[in-house]
Chains A and B, each alone.
Chain A
Amino acid sequence: MSDTHSQTVSYVRETMLPQAEPPVSNRGAILWLRENLFSGWFNIVLTLVSLYVIYWALAHTLPWVVSGIWNAGSLSECREIRDATLGEGASAACWAVLVDRWQQLMFGFYPSELYWRPVLALVIFLAAIAPVLFAQVPRGALWFTAVSPFVMFWLLWGGSAWFPVAVALGFVLGWAAWRALAPMAGTLVAAIVSAALPIVYWFYTAGPLARELEQVVGIGIEYVPSQDFGGFMLSFIIGIAAIILSLPLGILLALGRQSDLFIINKVSVGFIEIIRGVPLIVWLFTASLLLNYFLPPGTNFDLMLRVIIMVTLFAAAYIAEVVRGGLAALPKGQYEGADSLGLSYWQSMRLIILPQALKISIPGIVNTFIGLFKDTTLVVFIGLFDPIGLSNAIRATTEWNGIYWELFVFIGLLFFICCFSMSRYSLYLEKKLQRGHK
């Protein structure tokens, strides 16, 4: 054994080698490519297939998009320009239809000299929603948020300013009744009275009051009927109104479904299951065909309002299920803890249960909102002019007869931007509300 080591090594390096970069194949872009795209035969096949798919998709769409024609008065003019500049039968989009008709796609048949009103309403909406969405905005701004729906309503439809004021007065009335009665008569009586009083007021007093005030001091702007609403403005109005109204209703339904009270529980379950079991389109047809049967003879109210009501009820049932999931996910100890502190039902819900349950259900709620906003396109089937309805109308004109893809691309892109930003916001909110359980 000793002769194994008898031969000494002729040379041993005494200095350290300078650090060298990894070989070219093991660093930088090449390493990344090797690890992520070409790490095995299956991966290579996948990469090649996806490269081909991307190439195929781009080769079919990119020339069409890039060489699009922006200045033309009609589809035939577009084709003439294309044949003259790009050669016969080349592939080129006719974006000119968007230049020509974008106002219609945005506002429908809203009078063009009044476009500032919906735009201003949108600005007000963005300002009003800011304190709700972002905690950095001062809390005092919430007052503005509370007032903004009435201002927006007035700006969009116009007419006498006293009408939204009279309606808002109902809420003030209910709030005043609650403050006055709650200490005296207890919460149950106060709740019933403060719910019933505004309803009676809206039915019998609000209308005449607004008319009287209008005659004394007339403040009004030009009235725009609902039939003139259209395009993305219509989608936004229906979507936003339904989102705002369906959240509280959905939370109430979820609480009802979790309730121990037999009748309230069964009514909530029945409502939720019936609404969710039937497609929205059937509900919309119900709103347009049947609602008149269910209301007192001679009543006839705005189709857009009916649609908002139906979409709200529909979304509320879905939100109720999402919130119920959040409620069920809370540990039982939270409920028992709230009870042991001696909190009343509403106090424990407001202070302990709902803040946690809603936090869990944020992704689901936002998903429901995204679905709701996309579903506003269904109103085209009952004769409202949403963007898709307007694209049909534009295609029916002589100038733009036969144009499809450009309009679809535009509408799809706008919906994508809205829905995608909503889903990003929900991710942001989830991260922000994370309380470090990871």
Chain B
Amino acid sequence: MTTTSEPPKAGFHPSQLIYDTRYRSLTIQVIAFIALMLGLSWLVSNTVANLQALGKDFDFGFLGQRAGYDINQRLVEYDSTSSHARAALVGILNTLLVAVLGCALATVIGVLAGVLRLSKNWLIAKLMAVYVEGFRNIPLLLWILLIFALMTEATPQPRDFREGGDAAMILGDTVAITNRGVFIPAPFWGAGAGILLAVLLLSLVAIFFWRRYAHRTQEQTGRILPIGWGTLGLLLVPVTVAFLALSLTSGRQVQPVLATGASEGMTLADYAGSQQAINACTVPFSTESLNLRRLMRANDLRFNLVPVADGAEAIAAAEAGRCNILSLPASTIAASVPAGAVALSDTITRGNPVEFERPILGGFNFEGGLQLRNSLIALWLALSLYTGAFIAENVRGGILSVSKGQTEAAFALGIKPSRTMRLVILPQALRVIIPPMISQYLNLTKNSSLAIAVGYMDVRSTLGGITINQTGKELEGMLLLGLFYLVTSLVISGAMNVYNSSVKLKER
């Protein structure tokens, strides 16, 4: 079998560029490239000319300038004197916050609805169908506005929670739903919180090794160890023991309340009577500050809180006169008590490693606790319910994609239904469910830019909104905004590809 056709002898002819398939693709690419470059240079030259005509330049220096606007929800320190870059960071964190919260809730809702839609129970299957079709076929924006209107128009005002009002807190007086937002208990961290966290991490490591050991044992000997109970026990027991031990020892320790300009053995009430105002130096979200506040509230005192980073800063602040009352751990040596401060007769305990403060109705609004603003709640719920409907369809499709023979084969082998689900059905269904689910997460993250509808301060509202309006840097601002979303999307889809290749059918 030698070659039957001779290679063409004639030299290169220009018409080959069009008619010869070997060169034609090159020709097409060169033409496409030239057209592309011409188009791009046209856009760039237009932009340059337009910027010149407007007297603007292209630089990102505005990021360092003072922002001058307030942001009502911030996860990092920020005030109106911070820079535009800082404002953008606050916005980014807010976007990520609502995206993460939304993804978590949407997964729960979606998996539940998807499984229930396949339920044998006719009523609940139809109910879930109504949910899925309703949310899939009505714009997300409408849902966001609807839930926001529900939160602001159909919920009671804080004053309705007073005696005789017609509203009441729910879940054992811990959560208050008002038209100014939802107030939930706030966590406070006391002495030993670090130890508690370390114990938790250690038990997570132990769980990992326990599960590996159980799998190995089963593979080698066929003996099935109780993985689920072991995991649960390892997760709960050490943490509970550590919590109880810490709260019974260091948590019970009594520590003095120090006040400047007081005489030894004065009660807090007497001291307050002798002072014009009470400024308490406390570390935010520490149990000492919580217990000090509880003590002062119990005495019906009005007080201001001066936030400090740690004990040393508290002492410095007290000596500088910025605050006149503080409580440092009892173990603090006498030398580090601020000058001129003495202990009052009232004392506080250090408190458990973690304590929760319930929201309490103050003058016009709830005080204490965490305030979840209506904008966050509306955006979060709407995004989760909307995306949950799509995830439900993915879950349903994934479960349906596993053929019935798989279940029957597993039963024929004598595997229990619960283990069939976990070992046979789910691994196969997840391979179908996860990729579209992650692209739903991506959609949710991008849809969080609809925060504009409810005034939630996400990155589009800070960097892409107020900053652009104040500085007039549309081009740079939108470019950075687009880049942020692009990078987020690429990171999420990159993670998806890694996962996909790890669960892909291993073909030999």
The chain A residues found within 8 Å of chain B, CB to CB, are: 35-37, 39, 43, 46-47, 49-51, 53-54, 186, 188-189, 192, 260-264, 267, 273-274, 276-282, 285-286, 289-290, 292-297, 370, 374-375, 377-378, 380-381, 388, 404-405, 408, 411-412, 415-416, 419-420, 423
Contact = CB atoms under 8 A, between A and B. Distances in A.
A293 B137 contact: no
A408 B485 CA distance: 30
Contacts of B475: 290, 293
A352 to B, nearest CB: 19
A419 B137 contact: yes
Given A37-B121, A186-B19, A294-B46, 9 more contacts: A35-B120, A43-B121, A46-B123, A50-B123, A277-B490, A282-B449, A290-B478, A378-B141, A416-B138
A186 to B, nearest CB: 6
A53 B50 contact: no
B412 interface: no
Interface of B: 18-19, 24-25, 27-29, 31-33, 36, 43, 46-47, 49-51, 53, 116, 119-124, 127, 133-134, 136-142, 145-146, 149, 153, 446-447, 449-450, 452-453, 460, 464, 468, 474-475, 478, 481-482, 485-486, 488-490
B452 A281 contact: yes
A106 B449 CA distance: 27
A349 to B, nearest CB: 15
Contact of B46 (A47, A186, A293, A412): A293
Contacts of B481: 282
A426 to B, nearest CB: 13
Given A297-B50, A423-B137, A276 B489 contact: yes
B486 A278 contact: yes
Contact of B478 (A53, A282, A408): A282
A410 to B, nearest CB: 11
A279 B447 contact: yes
B contacts with A: majority SS? helix
Given A47-B124, A408-B142, A263 B33 contact: yes
Given A292-B50, A293-B50, A294-B43, A412 B18 contact: no
Contact of A263 (B29, B121, B139, B486): B29
Contacts of B145: 388, 408
B111 to A, nearest CB: 16
A264 B120 contact: no
A282 B29 contact: no
Contact of A412 (B138, B446, B478): B138
B91 to A, nearest CB: 13
Nearest to A381: B452
B123 A47 contact: yes
Contacts of B33: 263
B121 A46 contact: yes
A388 B50 contact: no
A420 B137 CA distance: 6
Contact of A408 (B116, B140, B146, B452): B146
19 contacts: A43-B121, A46-B116, A49-B124, A186-B19, A260-B25, A261-B28, A263-B29, A263-B36, A279-B447, A279-B449, A286-B478, A292-B50, A293-B50, A294-B46, A296-B49, A408-B149, A411-B142, A416-B134, A419-B136
A276 to B, nearest CB: 7
B449 A281 contact: yes
B138 A419 contact: yes
Contacts of A370: 136-137
A281 B450 contact: yes
Nearest to A189: B18
Contact of A36 (B121, B137, B153, B482): B121
Contact of B29 (A186, A264, A374): A264
A404 B148 CA distance: 11
Contacts of B122: 36-37
A404 B478 CA distance: 33
B464 A285 contact: yes
Given A297-B46, A370-B137, A377-B141, A264 B486 contact: no
Contacts of B478: 282, 285-286, 289-290
Contacts of A280: 446
B485 A279 contact: yes
A415 B138 contact: yes
Contacts of A36: 120-123
Q: Which of B121, B153, B450, B488 has the most CB of A within 10 A?
A: B121
A54 B127 contact: yes
Q: Which of A46, A280, A295 has the most CB of B within 10 A?
A: A46
A188 B136 contact: no
A377 B464 CA distance: 20
Contacts of B49: 296-297
B153 to A, nearest CB: 6
A188 B28 contact: yes
Nearest to B27: A188
Contacts of A192: 31
Contacts of B32: 261, 263-264, 267
Nearest to B483: A278
A278 B53 contact: no
A47 B124 CA distance: 7
B482 A273 contact: no
Contact of B141 (A264, A278, A290, A388): A388
Given A263-B33, A415-B142, A50 B124 contact: yes
B137 A53 contact: no
A274 B483 CA distance: 9
B139 A374 contact: yes
A51 B482 contact: no
Contacts of A273: 486, 490
Nearest to B48: A293
B53 A37 contact: no
B236 to A, nearest CB: 26
B127 A50 contact: yes
Nearest to A36: B122
A176 B324 CA distance: 90
A260 B25 CA distance: 9
Contacts of B25: 260-261
Contacts of A279: 446-447, 449, 460, 485
Contacts of A416: 134, 137-138
Contact of B142 (A262, A377, A381, A423): A377
B489 A415 contact: no
Given A189-B18, A277-B486, A37 B138 contact: no
User: 3 nearest interchain CB pairs?
Assistant: A277-B489, A419-B137, A36-B122
Given A264-B29, A290-B478, A274 B486 contact: yes
Q: Which of A46, A285, A412 has the most CB of B within 10 A?
A: A285
A404 B28 CA distance: 57
